[in-house]
């Protein structure tokens, strides 16, 4: 899941989908300096990571953010950041005491 979020275009796609609710790859490509084919590849990665869902409406495929998955990712990242903050504080304390 983190690998999916490591790429700036994918993070921007998530932002756009969060703003719009749902969108097609064509509509998303119109808002980014990336081809529609590249957008579809990025959306495929996000879907595989469980961060977006795809649903067919006629001939279109519409993508939407999966809020529960993003919430879980945000909680995990927050816990990870807190752990690193604790580790860095320990290193600082040891360096200042030494």
Beta bridge partners of 55: 62
List per-residue pLDDT tens for the chain, 98 residues long. Answer: 556 777 889 999 999 999 998 999 999 999 999 999 999 999 999 999 999 999 998 999 999 998 876 666 777 778 788 888 899 988 988 898 87
Parallel, antiparallel, or unpaired: how do β-strands 60-65 and 22-24 relate?
A: antiparallel
Q: Which CATH class, in words, describes the domain spanning 2-97?
A: mainly alpha
Q: What is the pLDDT of residue 77?
A: 74
pTM of whole model > 0.85?
no
Order across the sheet with 52-57: list the strands: 22-24, 60-65, 52-57
Sketch the domain layout of the chain as residue ranges. 2-97
Q: What is the pLDDT of residue 3?
A: 66
């Amino acid at each position: 899941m983190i690998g999916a979020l490591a790429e700036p275009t994918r993070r921007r796609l998530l932002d756009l989908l969060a703003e719009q609710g749902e969108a097609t790859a064509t509509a998303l490509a119109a808002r980014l300096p990336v081809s529609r084919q590249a957008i579809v590849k990025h959306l495929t990665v996000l879907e595989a990571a469980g961060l977006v869902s795809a649903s067919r409406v006629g001939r279109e495929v519409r993508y939407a953010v999966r809020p529960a998955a993003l919430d879980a990712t945000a909680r995990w990242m927050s816990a990870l950041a807190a752990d690193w903050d604790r580790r860095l504080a320990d290193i600082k304390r040891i360096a200042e005491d030494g």
